């Protein structure tokens, strides 16, 4: 591949390049039911339906991935229309396919991300997709950045500052590495344009399992620390190179890494946590900011597909 990774074993045999440790069991599932996506391998031909997918773009909400799908239609010069929610019958997530781009919502937090990532990665496997690239576009709390700044993650750390996503398997905690593709992060950052009118930076992202105490807020229902404790902690994070805090980057990075999939985490900062906790930008501004990661990722994909 472009990053010098050896993708030949998959490519040469015409198999998907994703690496699953559970292939033996999956092969015996007839059909394999992707429960939360409302899909199964008996009533759908995954190769026919998804075989041409090259990019999977994930975001927290159904609305955000629909809006990305619509943008992608325009940016790939595809005829406009109303994208169909392929995962509708699962009643959990939304999924839209626009040419080579699969747009999938992942909900909020690690448990929600984990369930859908298992199923999307199996979908990629069943569809025989070669070298897919995964993106997560979302929101975050910034550290010492101007609100509205886009942060592309160089690293994802968990709430204990480990470069790991913890999964408890048979009662035992396992740590899965959250290594992201550094080259892809830089390539995506290159698609930021000064004329866009916002900053795009590379930085470390801390991923927590809770929005309030988990991110040291003092605006939740509970907080047994002082404002001073909070600022000291956030300063410490900032000094370690952490630029933003979200709730999905670590499982997203870990699942893609484990499956041998290149991925990038691209989030706008909705506030500067060194200045406050409450998100008080107006709705229109937040909506505007939420389009910024979309803009950069869609530009990257358009460039790959149609050239400069």
Residues that bind ligand URA (CB under 6 A): 139-141, 211, 215, 245-247, 270
Beta bridge partners of 179: none
User: Shortest approach of ligand R2B to residue 153 CB, angstroms?
Assistant: 11
Q: Return the residue of 138, 142, 147, 159 that touches ligand R2B, per CB under 6 A.
A: 138
Task: Rule CB under 6 A: say whether 277 interacts with ligand R2B.
Answer: no
Q: DSSP 3-state assignment of 265?
A: strand
Position 212 contacts ligand R2B (CB under 6 A): no
Which of 108, 114, 96 lies closest to 49, judged by CA?
96
What SS3 class is residue 138? strand
User: Does the protein bind ligand R2B through residue 159 (CB under 6 A)?
Assistant: no
Q: Which does 60 bind (CB under 5 to 8 A by kind): ligand URA, ligand R2B, none?
A: ligand R2B
> What are the backbone dihedrals phi and psi of residue 212, each rounded to the nearest 5 degrees, phi first?
-95, -90
Using the contact rule CB under 6 A, the part of the chain among 25-33, 241-249, 280-288, 296-304 near ligand R2B is 241-249
Contacts of 248 (CB under 8 A, 6+ apart): 60, 106, 108, 109, 110, 113, 136, 138, 207
Q: Which of 123, 247, 250, 264 binds ligand R2B (CB under 6 A)?
A: 247
Q: Encoding tokens for residue 118?
A: 């298992």
From the list ligand R2B, ligand URA, none, pick the one residue 215 interacts with, judged by a Cβ distance below 5 to 8 Å according to partner type: ligand URA
Q: Where are the alpha helices (DSSP H) in 60-190?
A: 62-75, 110-126, 182-189
Interface residue list for ligand R2B (CB under 6 A): 60, 108, 138-140, 211, 246-248
């Amino acid at each position: 591949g472009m990053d010098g990774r050896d993708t030949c074993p998959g490519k040469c045999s015409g198999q998907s390049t994703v690496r699953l440790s559970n292939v033996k069991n999956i092969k015996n599932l007839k059909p394999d039911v992707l429960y939360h996506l409302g899909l199964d391998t008996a009533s759908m031909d995954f190769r026919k339906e998804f075989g041409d997918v090259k990019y999977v773009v994930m975001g927290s909400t159904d609305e955000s991935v629909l809006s990305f799908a619509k943008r992608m239609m325009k940016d790939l010069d595809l005829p406009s229309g109303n994208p169909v929610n392929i995962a509708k019958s699962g009643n959990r997530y939304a999924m839209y396919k626009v040419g080579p781009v699969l747009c999938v919502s992942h909900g909020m937090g690690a448990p929600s991300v984990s369930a859908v990532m298992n199923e999307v990665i199996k979908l990629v496997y069943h569809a025989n997709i070669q070298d897919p690239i995964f993106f997560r576009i979302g929101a975050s709390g910034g550290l010492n950045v101007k609100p509205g700044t886009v942060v592309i993650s160089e690293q994802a750390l968990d709430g204990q500052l480990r470069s790991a996503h913890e999964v408890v398997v048979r009662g035992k905690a396992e740590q899965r590495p959250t290594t992201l593709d550094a080259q892809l992060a830089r390539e995506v950052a290159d698609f930021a344009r000064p004329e866009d009118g916002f900053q795009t930076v590379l930085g470390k992202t801390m991923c927590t399992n809770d929005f309030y105490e988990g991110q040291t807020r003092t605006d939740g229902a509970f907080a047994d620390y002082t404002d001073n404790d909070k600022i000291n902690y956030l300063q410490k994070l900032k000094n370690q190179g952490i630029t933003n805090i979200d709730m999905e980057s670590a499982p997203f990075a870990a699942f893609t890494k484990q499956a041998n999939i290149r991925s990038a985490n691209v989030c706008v900062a909705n506030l500067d946590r060194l200045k406050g906790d409450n998100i008080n930008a107006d709705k229109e501004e937040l909506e505007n900011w939420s389009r910024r990661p979309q803009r950069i990722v869609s530009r990257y994909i358009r460039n790959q597909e149609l050239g400069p």
